[in-house]
Chain A
Amino acid sequence: MAPRLELQSLSKRYASVVANDAVSLIVERGEIHAVLGENGAGKSTLVKMIHGAVQPDDGAILWEGRSVRIANPAAARRLGIAMVYQHFALFETVPVVDNIAVALTGRFDRRALAARITALAARYGLDVDPWRDLHELSVGERQRVEILRSLLQNPRLLILDEPTSVLTPQATLRLFEVLRRLAAEGCSILYISHKLDEIRALCSAATVLRGGRVVGHADPHHASAADLARLMVGASPPPVRRASHARAAAPCLELRRLTQVSSDPFGTALAEITLELHGGEIVGIAGVSGNGQRELVAALSGETPSAPGMVLLDGRPIGAFAVAARRVLGVALVPEERLGRGAAPNLSLADNGLLTGHRAGLVRRGFIRRVRVQGFARGIIEAFDVRCSGVRAAARSLSGGNLQKFIVGRELTLAPRVLVVAQPTWGVDVAAAAFLRQRLVDLSRAGAAVLVISEELEELFEICDRIAVLHAGRLNAAKPRADLSIEAVGLAMAGSKSVLETAA
């Protein structure tokens, strides 16, 4: 029987780069096939060609033995190819059910569809209310919508791009069960990821891309994680170095019974959040997004001020301070959404440095000092190894990892007293993620207080000194990492109270 999908030396060139160079790949029926590679290795372009969003310059695509030209995503859907994008393709202003309806053919019956969604969601443990408007959903919830939307199309090939980065370990295991069941039912799965452990647990074949070329095939069940990493990056990234923990005696940032109703009617209210963050330490906030992360970040950054005494900096009440006043005091934020919030997409990197860096002597008497602005951006680009065409490059022309390096670099260059980072390495390649984690650790060891809000438990366990779990707007007491296990935190993320009972 012909394989489900066969790619024969597909190539795609853009003006300046060869994104894919003669990539060949075979996905058998019912196979879970991994595509491994760093950001910029050409995974996204390859996937877009299979999904019809981009046309190859060269090569052939064989679908079940038949040569096909996939003109657009609708054609891909008709063949039975469904895609869960890493960057979601969803409509903000309409409910979940409508977002799913647009991808389906047949009679438009929202009630019936909502019932199907709820049933499917329950079956796979992907909790989503079909009637909520999309703009109210967190990133994690949006991904669930994407996955549900694909599953409702009864695909014969399901493509997932970094699907687990926003799931709890337990939910990841459930998703794997789903994927294994789908594979057993004959659906082929193309699994794009850089999480080597997951690939080894889930996939039966792997194709490794580097620089747009296939650099190797591996059997993930037998290859070690180190082998795969070496294939992928050419060399394995160094482990994060953590100097001993030199925590300041007095807390730098304090949250005292922070209670706040969300400005979003479907958001999560924060309930009596208490936390002490000391200089010299990294504290991690674990939790599935949608449990108050967005609200907590806004309360910390000043985008939604609170009662003055609920947030204290060095004992001074700053709860009522707006963003600008808090930034002057050294409270910086690296937001979850890089493009559009952390950086203005159409502006150059120089201007994006100025965005929050203007306090670093880049403005005098209301006028911009262009030479200094360029120097500031150039300094970040060099110190943080941002791959770009220069300070004039528009922010949107950078890959996710490089833009994140620029944003983190900008905030670190401003030498904050308190840095709040949301999802620091979401969708960032292995080497860049290791680099960013090291920088966050270095910042804390230099005396700053760092708060990392992440859904990636391995990351939190790698870099944090203490970890707390945010669930349904409540935060349990942060505990030293050594006293916690990934399993226990994972259960607490899912709402289990018994594991991490609030302790003093």
Chain B
Amino acid sequence: MLRLILEPRAAPLRGMRLASPLIALACTVLISIPVLLALGLPPAVTLRNFFIEPLRTANGVSEWLLTASPLVLIALGESVAFRANVWNIGAEGMFTAGAIAAAWCALHFGASAPHAALLLAMACAGALGGMAWASIPAFLKTRANTNEILVTLMLNYVAGLALRYLVNGPMQDPAGLNYPQTAPFEPAALFQPLVPGLRVNGSIFITLGAAAATWLFFEHSFLGFQMTVGGDAPTAARYAGYRPAQLVWVGLLVSGATAGLAGMMEAAGPLAQLTPVISPGYGFTAIIVAFVGRLRPAGIIVAGLLLSLLYLGGEAVQMAQNVPASLARSFQGELLFFLLGADVLVLHRVRLRRS
């Protein structure tokens, strides 16, 4: 009988670590063809509607950047945590916490404060809100050695329920006919569009700035170096005297700050108020973005644009061809699946063996 056996390679395949995201994308497209056929859809037209049509108009490009921006920002923060083997799965909750904190600012000071100061205050509130949410798993991990994967994951649901409570109670719009939502933010509390008529706004510069800062952090800061050592060789980090607790705190606070800021950008941008559901799963998709982008800022920007296109494409085919919305989600999952599979093959080779 022939058996397939995975053997570790002596060295990873050269160049393949960078090529594997592209191979994963190609496999995702390939596997989608029989799926689309099974759904009774012409693959060529559907793929065109999915990947090309959304970008053919200025509005399409605007929406593309608007969706990519929070994904990239969250993934940048996640990459800091992931590099140190701090597994923060709670960006969705931190995003929500940041949006709530920013909305509180907007509702309290929206009528009186000047535009720039208000946006700055909201950004600070968003980042702090995300960090506060992230400090819970950090505290529990460093004090009680809890598993941060479980704690951050569960806190996502707590944050979601807290938001639901707030928009149904303390933060509900008094003039809102009892709809579960906050009052619409004053114009002073909103980012101005970059181009009149399009929704993309100045917040994308925050994301670009964060990408530059993350690059600087990893490439040139000693703390970034410590995070990398802590993830790559934890025993060596302990030997050198790097404190594991510090790495956990930095990883979680940075990813909390970026997720909270992304929540603020969404609240002060396309949402302009809070409703019971404010995120189409950005916090989870950003995990895929971070890994597809190889935990590097430039890669994360490219991956964020790619995953954002999957969101837009999913909506486009939904409208144009009445395709179920879950198709885009399944594409995301396939992409991650193939990426992880490609990584296994980069590090291992498959051999046929007679048993």
State the A residues within 8 Å of B (CB).
Answer: 301-303, 322-327, 333, 335, 337, 340-347, 351, 354-356, 358, 363, 366-368, 370
Identity of the chain B residue whose Cβ is nearest the Cβ of A324 in the assembled complex: B241
Q: How far is the CA of A345 from the CA of B229 in the complex (A)?
A: 10
Tell me if B330 counts as interface (CB < 8 A to partner A). no
Write the chain B residue with the least CB distance to A14.
B10
Q: When A358-B222, A366-B223, A368-B225 are in contact, do A324 and B233 touch as well, CB less than 8 Å?
A: no
10 further contact pairs, Cβ within 8 A, besides A323-B239, A337-B235? A303-B238, A324-B243, A335-B239, A342-B236, A344-B232, A344-B237, A347-B229, A358-B222, A366-B221, A366-B223
Is B220 interfacial (CB-CB < 8 Å)?
yes
Q: Is the CB of A301 within 8 A of B221?
A: no
As a 0/1 sequence over residues 215 to 235 of chain B, the CB contacts with chain A under 8 angstroms (1 = contact) are 000001111010011001101
Given A355-B229, A367-B220, A340–B235 Cβ distance below 8 Å? Answer: yes
In the bound complex, CA of A392 to CA of B228 (Å) = 16
**Nearest CB of A to B217, in Å:** 10
Q: Given the known A-B contacts A302-B241, A347-B229, are A355 and B236 also in contact in the complex, defined by CB atoms under 8 Å?
A: yes
Q: How far is the CA of A337 from the CA of B233 in the complex (A)?
A: 12
- How many Å lie between the Cα of A337 and that of B239 in the bound state? 11
B1 interface residue per 8 A CB criterion:
no
Cα separation A423 to B220 with both chains bound (whole Å): 34
Chain B 214-268 residues near chain A, CB threshold 8 A: 220-223, 225, 228-229, 232-233, 235-243
Closest chain A residue, CB of each to CB of B235: A341
Query: CA of A297 to CA of B147 in the docked complex: distance in angstroms?
Result: 29
Residues in chain B near residue A303, CB distance under 8 A:
238-239
Contact present for A323 and B233 (CB under 8 Å) = no
Tell me whether A341 and B222 are in contact in the complex, defined as CB-CB below 8 angstroms, given that A323-B241, A324-B243 are known contacts.
no
| Chain A hits for B228, CB < 8 A | 347
Contact of B240 among A337, A340, A355, A368 (CB under 8 A): A355
Interchain CA distance A366-B224 in the complex, whole Å: 9
A337 to chain B: closest residue by CB: B235
Q: Which B residues are CB-close (under 8 A) to A346?
A: 232-233
Judging by beta carbons under 8 Å apart, are A367 and B222 in contact?
yes
A327 engages B233 (CB within 8 Å):
no
Q: What's the Cα separation between A367 and B15 when bound, in Å?
A: 29
Contact B239 A345 (CB under 8 A): no
Would A340 and B222 be within 8 Å (CB), given that A322-B241, A323-B241 are in contact?
no
Binding site for A on B (CB under 8 A): 220-223, 225, 228-229, 232-233, 235-243
Complex A-B: 8 CB contacts under 8 Å: A323-B241, A337-B235, A341-B236, A341-B239, A344-B236, A355-B236, A355-B240, A370-B220
Residue of B nearest to A327 (CB): B241
User: Contacts A344-B233, A347-B229 known; A367 to B239 CB distance under 8 Å?
Assistant: no
The reply to whether A323 and B238 form a contact with Cβ atoms under 8 Å apart is yes
Cα(A351)–Cα(B221), bound, Å: 12
Contact of B221 among A335, A342, A356, A368 (CB under 8 A): A368
CB atoms of B241 and A367 under 8 A apart = no
Most buried by A among B223, B228, B239, B243: B239
Residues of B within 8 A of A354 (CB): 222, 225
Complexed CA–CA distance, A370 and B224 (Å): 14
A309 to B243, CA, bound (A): 23
Closest Cβ–Cβ distance, residue A390 to chain B (whole Å): 17
Instruction: For the complex of A and B, list the 3 residue pairs with the smallest distance between their C-beta atoms, beginning with the closest.
Output: A323-B241, A324-B241, A344-B233
Q: Does A367 contact B221, Cβ atoms closer than 8 Å?
A: yes
- Residues of B with C-beta under 8 A to A363: 222
A contact residues around B236 at 8 Å (CB): 340-344, 355
Instruction: Give chain A nearest CB distance to B318 CB in angstroms.
Output: 44
A167 to chain B, nearest CB (A): 25
Residues of the A chain whose Cβ atoms lie less than 8 Å from the Cβ of B242: 324
Q: How far is the CB of A15 from chain B (nearest CB, A)?
A: 9
In the complex, how many angstroms separate the beta carbon of B247 from the nearest chain A beta carbon?
Answer: 13
Chain B residues whose C-beta falls within 8 Å of the C-beta of A302 in the assembled complex:
241
Q: Do A322 and B225 touch (CB < 8 A)?
A: no
- With A344-B229, A344-B233, A355-B229: A368-B239 Cβ-Cβ less than 8 Å: no
Minimum C-beta distance from B6 to chain A (A): 14
Cross-chain contact of B222 among A323, A327, A347, A368 (Cβ < 8 A): A368
Chain A residues with CB below 8 A from B222, complex form: 354, 358, 363, 366-368
Report yes or no: A347 in contact with B221, Cβ–Cβ below 8 A: no
- Residues on the A chain within 8 Å of B240, using CB: 323, 355-356
Question: Smallest distance from the beta carbon of B226 to chain A beta carbons, Å?
Answer: 9
The complex places the Cα of A302 from the Cα of B239 at a distance, in Å, of: 9
A366 to B220, CA, bound (A): 9
